[in-house]
Amino acid sequence: ITSDLWQIMIHRDLRRYDHYKSDSASKYKHYRNQKANIYSSLSDIWLCLACALGWTVWLVSAKQSSAGQPEPSVFETSESRKIFGNVLQVTLGEDPDGTGIPVYYTLVDYVVESDTLDEEPLQVRKCFTTRKLLEEGFANVEVLVSVDDPTTSILMDDFVEDKLARSHQPPPDMIQAMIVYAIAAVLIVTSLVGGLHAYLRLDPE
């Protein structure tokens, strides 16, 4: 009887020990889970900073696209002059942009006089693409030539049409631009605040 009692007591103690051990393990696991939920890691900080950088890039690109102001051509930013050229040949071809609209390849010859007496006049032969049919002839087309580089030139009619098309572009919608800026600013600030909050909650271990 005594040995049976001892065995019963030993089994009871073992069961208590196993229960205590499993209970301690579950409590430790629960503690680790709570700790993991409380503290943040470096990956959280990097994620917030990456979001802030992404929203900043998006804001800059949106600001540039909403500016809506066309860039001036090289003939407007630098000194240029108008000279007369000779239309040598006109051929019909396809638009290089693939729009299907027929265009004319016009071979023009023009002479650029030098500003100094030591240099000889420069003769340039260049092919222009235009939608307007020009007749072959002598000094029958106006060419706008850059003073710095005489080979940089454009037909005067094309220059005027391009300038008028850029001046008639609709102005940007300021209300839409302000909404985009406000949304981007809120997202950037939220990402930065999230990164700061994650930094303050770093695991001290």
* b/e map 162-189, b = 16+ CB within 10 Å: eeeeeeeeeeeeeeebeebeeebeebbe
The reported pLDDT for the residue numbered 88 is 92
- In three state form, how does the secondary structure of 40-92 look? ECHHHHHHHHHHHHHHHHHHHHHHHHHHCCCCCCHHHHCCEEEEEEEEEEEEE
Contact 141, 84 (CB under 8 A): yes
Report the Cα 202 to chain-centroid distance in Å: 34
Whole-number average pLDDT of the chain = 76
The reported pLDDT for the residue numbered 86 is 92
d(CA 173, CA 59): 16
**Highest mean pLDDT, choosing among 54-58, 93-97, 172-176:** 54-58
Q: Which region among 61-70, 111-120, 170-179 has the lowest average model confidence (pLDDT)?
A: 61-70
**Residue with the larger pLDDT of the pair 157 and 9:** 157
Q: Reply yes or no on whether the pLDDT at 68 is more than 70.
A: no
**Highest mean pLDDT, choosing among 32-41, 44-53, 194-203:** 44-53
State the amino acid at position 127 in one-letter form. C
Q: Reply yes or no on whether the pLDDT at 157 is more than 70.
A: yes
Task: Using pLDDT thresholds of 50, 70 and 90, give the confidence band for residue 1.
Answer: very low
d(CA 54, CA 46): 12
d(CA 130, CA 101): 11
| Burial grade of 132 (CB within 10 A; 0-12, 13-18, 19 or more) | exposed
Q: Reply yes or no on whether the pLDDT at 194 is more than 80.
A: yes
Mean pLDDT of 66-95: 79
d(CA 48, CA 54): 10
Mean pLDDT of 60-87: 76
The reported pLDDT for the residue numbered 130 is 85
* Tens digit of each residue's pLDDT (9 = 90 or more) over 12-28: 655 665 555 555 556 55
Backbone angles phi, psi at 84, to 5 degrees: -100, 140
> How much of the chain exceeds pLDDT 90, in percent?
9
Mean pLDDT of 172-183: 74
> Which residue's entry shows tokens 């060419």?
143
DSSP string, 138-186: EEEEEEEEESS-TT-EEEHHHHHHHHHHHHTSPPP-HHHHHHHHHHHHH
* Tens digit of each residue's pLDDT (9 = 90 or more) over 128-153: 988 888 888 898 899 999 888 888 89
**Residue with the larger pLDDT of the pair 127 and 176:** 127
Token duo for residue 76:
């407007």
